[in-house]
Amino acid sequence: MLNSLKNLFTAKNYFADETDDDSLPAFMTREKVLVFAISFVLAFCLWFIVNLSRDFNITISMPLEIGEVPEEMALVDGVPDYASVGVSGEGWKLISLYNNPPRIMINVEETDVNLFEKVQQQVTAVSDVNITQVQPLGFSLGLEEKVSRDVPVEVQLDIIPHDRFGVIGEPVLEPAFVTITGTQSKVAEIDHVRTRKVELRDVKSGKEIELNIEKPASGISVDPGNVKYRFNVTEFTEGEIRVPIRLRNLPPGRAVTYNPSTVTIRYSVPIDQYSEVQNTRPFVAYVDYSTIEEDTTGLVIPQIERAEDDYDVRLRSFSPRTVSYFMVVDD
């Protein structure tokens, strides 16, 4: 017994000797932080438990699920995906309802759906809460024969190339037509569908992108729901050419001269086509005789027209913008 007590005091002295007096303040600080943290968590839990015992009012989005529609029929009007339901009750019950809202079943054979009653029946069977409001309160259901037809796709794509770049060639849309399905009355009103608006900026090369199709109307399905669009982009350079002004539809016995008799045309052309275009005359300038007949100022504006379809040349500007003319009439 005496030896046991001696060993106990010896052990205490050992730990006391091993403890660094300089580390005591740091140890005590950590101990205070730990005690404070535990106290805070316990206090928060107590506050949470007490407050959730009170009554609250919240709004919950509850999904609507439509019953099976006969294969050869379709709904005349679309049905909302969710109902906005105001509920009141104890916090504990509302948390469960909020995290797992029940699905509201809708029978397609019903003509007029009272959504308030359906929500009340479904919710009260799940949880002891009160329904304060439902939006929408109800809606009508109607069935018509389902039909399908193919309609063209209109692309809503804004391509903004990088400086000195441009789109060349004809873009490719796949597929160019899609199938719409719905009630006969609604399908008959739709002659095309559009893609969702997309803007591409600072484009330097061609690419293929996928475009989603906008749903044309409620209750109408589109297949496929997206299309592929391919286009080419290349770098352009500038060219310049001087061309004479010609006269069109000149009646016999008359002649017209211009001052100046030529215009300088500036144009853009893909870099890889530049050398070939230099050996051609890609534009012509002309004035129609009817313009001269209607003029009272002595000045006309030449019309510029592309003369080459083999190259992707684009008019930028021409000068002068107006020329004077002199008419000669033979006796």
Inform me whether the pLDDT recorded for 17 exceeds 70.
no
Q: Give the pLDDT confidence score for residue 236 in this predicted structure.
A: 96
SS3 199: strand
Q: pLDDT tens across 253-283, in order?
A: 888 999 999 999 999 999 999 999 998 999 9
Burial 205-220 (b: 16+ CB within 10 A, else e): eeeeeebebeebeebb
Q: What is the CATH number of domain 236-329?
A: 2.170.120.30
Alpha helices in the chain (DSSP H): 2-18, 24-52, 91-99, 115-126, 184-187, 274-277, 289-294
CATH topology of domain 55-141: RNA Polymerase Alpha Subunit; Chain A, domain 2 (2.170.120)
Q: What is the CATH number of domain 145-235?
A: 2.170.120.40
Give this prediction's pTM.
0.62
Inform me whether the pLDDT recorded for 125 exceeds 80.
no
Distances (CA, A) of 221 to 11, 26, 187, 298, 299: 83, 69, 10, 62, 59
Q: Give the pLDDT confidence score for residue 56 in this predicted structure.
A: 74
Burial 126-160 (b: 16+ CB within 10 A, else e): ebebebeebeeeeeebebbebbeeebebebebebe
Residue 124 pLDDT grade (very low, low, confident, very high; cuts 50, 70, 90)? confident
Query: What are the phi and psi torsion angles at 293 (to 5°)?
Result: -65, -35
SS3 245: strand
- Tell me the two tokens of residue 81: 């995906």
Mean pLDDT of 240-262: 92
Residue 6 to residue 102: CA distance in whole angstroms: 71
Q: Give the pLDDT confidence score for residue 136 in this predicted structure.
A: 87
List the domain boundaries for the chain.
2-52, 55-141, 145-235, 236-329
Task: For the chain, state the CA radius of gyration.
Answer: 41
| Chain center to CA of 305 | 38
Q: Do domains 55-141 and 145-235 have the same CATH topology?
A: yes
Distances (CA, A) of 312 to 89, 195, 268, 272, 276: 71, 27, 8, 11, 11
Q: pLDDT tens across 198-217, in order?
A: 999 999 999 999 999 998 88
Inform me whether the pLDDT recorded for 30 exceeds 50.
yes
Would you say 315 and 296 are in contact if contact means Cβ atoms under 8 Å apart?
no
Least confident span in 77-86, 142-151, 290-299: 77-86
Q: pLDDT tens across 304-320, in order?
A: 999 988 899 999 999 99
